[in-house]
Amino acid sequence: MKKIVLLILASIFAFAYKIDAYKWQKGDRFYLFLQQNSLPISIYYNLPNEIKRKVRNIQPGSTIFLLKDNNKIKQALFPIDANNQLQIIKKDNKYTTRIVPIFYDVKQKEAKITIDNFLSYDIYKATHLRSLAAKISDIFGDKINFRTLPKGSTLSVLYQTKSRYGKVKDVKVLFASFEIKGKVYNAFLNPYDGRYYDENGRSLKGMFLAAPLRYRKISSYFGRRFHPILHKWRMHDGIDYVNRVGTPIHSVADGIVIYKGWLGGYGKTIKIRHKNGYITLYGHLRSWPRRIYVGKRVRQGDVIGYLGNTGLSTGPHLHFGVMRYGRWINPLKIKRSAKTKLYGRAKKRFLAYIQKFIKENNIALK
Ligand SMILES: [Zn+2]
């Protein structure tokens, strides 16, 4: 009898409870979302500052789960970063919050791919992962020219997928090896710094990216030019890259943000200090990501702003300047090839890691 009552109760609950999935939109605000769903705004104000910052930056496209009881929210889950979510629970007519981990289904896979057509097509055909090709070309981009990749080149790749509800959320390349006309390029992910190195601990990337953005054209080079707004001969101490407003701008090297703000004719500007006496400047920006501030450490490739048309500018473009020991130099002439290598303890640790990794995964290094 008890069992039956329980069953009936369960079915009533199952009927009354409803789980809604809401897709976070660009422009959605956490505190407005609370208001719209009749949740007290004090939930937001009582969060620790660090979590407040995170809920203000929920990624558009993220899924919010709402457990409703007769259309009243009993529980809500907000993903706040790649690994954690904020849970709001109603208990005794009071709302409490806590941070709970997001669980992923993690799988390690491998693929051997012959490049018969072009890289992204062949990788997609073999793995059905669109992002994998982008990762591979990013890892080897400084070493291999993919536009002239000979047919019959082979790629072996060991990668990890992180899935949630059957959807791949993240792909991580653990090891990749290209064989191109008998020449072999190996790349191991170093778990200690998140970068890729060959089997001898040499980085696959130069200190600088070739350019801080994907651009349509260069509208002005480094050197003297007739200024289009000032109508005077002036030194142009950088490179002007043209593309659409909003194009992401990347830091060309690791460094520390030393300036963020309006800077005369450059308009909205970011300056980053790098090692070996280099400073880079990114001008005429439209905006910056919120996580970029003076003193922030950035890594090569991090998005530090969005292309704009602020300051003395005739159209949307990025002014990119490189300074070395206090003098502007031609960004197109910086030695990108100065490869970074692991030394000392970091190298020892990496070599020990890959030795174990090679053994565990039966990798036959060429
Ligand atoms: Zn310029």
Question: In 10 A of CB 19, how many CB atoms?
Answer: 10
Q: At what angle do helices 130-140 and 119-127 cross, to 10 degrees?
A: 130
CA atoms within 13 A on the CB side of 298: 30
The tokens for 31 are: 């505190």
Using the mean position of ligand 1's atoms as its centre, give its distance from the Cα of residue 331 in Å: 12
**Residue percentage of the chain with pLDDT more than 70:** 94
Q: In the chain, which residues fall in CATH 2.70.70.10?
A: 217-334
Please tell me the distance between residue 246's alpha carbon and the centre of ligand 1 in angstroms.
17
Summarize pLDDT for 213-254 with one digit per residue, the tens.
999 999 999 988 777 777 777 789 999 999 999 999 999 999
Q: Calculate how far, in angstroms, residue 241's C-alpha sits from the geometric centre of ligand 1.
A: 8
Sign of the alpha-carbon dihedral angle for 57, 60, 63, 68 = positive
Separation of 145 CA from ligand 1 center, angstroms? Answer: 29
- The rounded Å distance from CA 176 to ligand 1 centre is 39
pLDDT of residue 337: 55
Ligand 1 centroid to residue 291 C-alpha, Å: 26
pLDDT at 225: 78
**Confidence at 92, pLDDT banded by 50, 70, 90:** confident
Select 217-334's CATH number: 2.60.40.1120, 2.70.70.10, 3.40.50.300, 3.10.20.740: 2.70.70.10
pLDDT digits (tens, 9 = 90+) for 282-291: 999 999 998 9
CB-CB contact of 341 with 203 (8 Å): yes
What tens digit of pLDDT does each residue of 253-264 get?
999 999 999 999
- What are the residue ranges of CATH 3.10.450.350 in the chain? 15-101, 105-206
Average of per-residue pLDDT across 181-188: 94
What's the CA-to-centroid distance between 46 and ligand 1, angstroms?
Answer: 46
13-65: pLDDT as tens digits: 555 678 888 999 999 999 999 999 889 999 999 999 999 999 999 989 888 99
For ligand 1, the distance from its centroid to the CA atom of residue 266, given in whole angstroms, is 8
Q: What's the CA-to-centroid distance between 228 and ligand 1, angstroms?
A: 11
Mean pLDDT of 136-151: 88
64 C-alpha to ligand 1 centroid (Å): 43
- The pair of three-digit structure tokens given for residue 119, joined into one six-digit string: 């890289």
pLDDT digits (tens, 9 = 90+) for 72-87: 888 999 999 888 999 9
Report whether pLDDT(109) > 90: yes
Q: Into which CATH architecture does domain 15-101 fall? A: Roll (3.10)
Instruction: Give the helix/strand (H/E) hosting 125.
Output: helix 119-127
Gap from CA of 321 to ligand 1 centroid (Å):
8
- Centre of ligand 1 from the C-alpha of residue 258, in Å: 20
In angstroms, what is the span from residue 279 Cα to ligand 1's centroid? 16
Residue 339: pLDDT band (50, 70, 90) is low
Q: Quick one: which H or E segment has residue 56?
A: helix 49-56
pLDDT digits (tens, 9 = 90+) for 343-362: 889 999 999 999 999 999 99
Distance 338 CA to ligand 1 centre (A): 26
Half-sphere exposure of 151 (CA within 13 A, CB side): 2
Considering the domain 105-206 in this protein, what is its CATH number? 3.10.450.350
Q: Where are the beta strands (DSSP E) in 152-213?
A: 153-164, 167-180, 183-189, 196-197, 202-206
The pLDDT value recorded for residue 6 is 46
Ligand 1 centroid vs 82 CA: distance in angstroms?
37
pLDDT of residue 1: 42
Q: Measured in angstroms, how far is the CA atom of residue 281 from the centroid of ligand 1? A: 10
pLDDT in the model for residue 222: 93
Average pLDDT over residues 137-148: 87
